Structure 1
Amino acid sequence: MISLKVEKITTQKVSEIIEKQIEEWIHSGSFKPGQKLPSVRELCEMFAVGRSAVRDAITSLKGKGLVDVKQGDGSFVSRWDGTSLFHQIHLLEKKNIKQLFAVRKILESGMAELAATHRRESHLQKINAIITELEQTPTVEGWKLDFDFHTTLAEATGNEILVHLTNTLSTTMKKAIIDCHRLIFSDPLLTNKVFQQHVAIYDAISAKDPDTARITMLDHLNFVEQLLSNQSHTYAEGGSYAAE
């Protein structure tokens, strides 16, 4: 087995430490594109942590486009790395929010349109399950389901590059998305509005209506962008911070 450097776990969130360590292995060339990573069990033993921490780290790396997970076969270093496009972007600065959402509107409105044309029944079932769980999870933890919703729409297009781009954008915006969900779930009216937006997107895709899918996605992104822009103003008054 390859001899790998493992840093000791600190008081920082365990999954984040594991994520950064694996990311360092990938960027340093210890693992090449297409190469299989150690199994979850092996990583648990190497870091002396539980399976949930390792799985969270792998999920985040998958979201960054660094890792491909093949069911029953393990995790592999992705052959395409889109993180370099966005890794220096700092969120909760109004200009950057506006620029990123300009990209998201172009990307995800077209993605919703394609998903309405190419989606399969398995995609609809997965999206419907996410929406159902989202309705039952009125907490800030709903950001993970929101992440899954958008990445599943990308999968429904059948375009692998769109999947990687969506994962990269969503991961770049992770902290902003979490803060946005904290704001949304503090207000039942906002919670219901965002939930209904997700339902409207799903309904359009289910009905194979690409025009409505595109419009409902744009409406959703415009709404979330405004929430984040308002939030960025609040943080600017009390001290800004960057997204992870």
Structure 2
Amino acid sequence: MSTALITGASRGVGAQIARALAPTHDLLLGGRGSTELDSLAIELEGSSTLPVDLTDSDALEASVEAIGSLDVLVHCAGVASSLENIADTPVEEWRHVLDVNLVAAAELTRLLLPALRETAGHVVFVNSGAGMRVNPGWTPYAASKFGLRALADGLRAEEPSLRVTSIFPGRIDTDMQRDIVAREGDAYDPGRFLRPETVAATVAHAIATPPDAHPTDVVLRPTGR
């Protein structure tokens, strides 16, 4: 079977992507070492964990150096920002959000390019609606997602043997979303948001697209149904 590495696989959308790809791929489950990551590996028999802090470049390089070929790389790890205006956002917040959401993805992609070229592989970036527009209080997060979009577009232009897909979902029903809504001071209604399984199915569908087609950008918006 083909091999897929998924970052942010411990929970939420990343875990659902792993479940969606498990029937067709051998999985490498990337994430910080945790009981959730270990439990998912047990659930998905035959999968392996890749416990690493993506922002630790030395540890990241060591963790993937043995990967000689890779069919699919799914970037799903990410953090939200503090929802403050630019005037109130300290430099540490900018650095943290950009480091996790953009720089780590760029570095992991760079490290795995030889393995992806070996298979004419597929790279999927789970982006966000914030990668296409900016709302007040979301500027650092949007900057990281606009950057992720540029990373995908640049990779697609520079590596014509690879397929590169950006997924732009609207807000998703996850633990992270619950935290965001609490900070916004609103009541949480999961029906307002996309289901993680829906985003995962979209990722799996893009990967399963026959090789004569290149799915580049996919936008998902919640319908409230």
Flag whether TM exceeds 0.5 (same fold): no
TM-score by length of 2: 0.30
TM-score by length of 1: 0.28
- Which protein, 1 or 2, shows the higher relative CO under an 8 Å CA cutoff with sep ≥ 6? 1
Radius of gyration: which is bigger?
A: 1
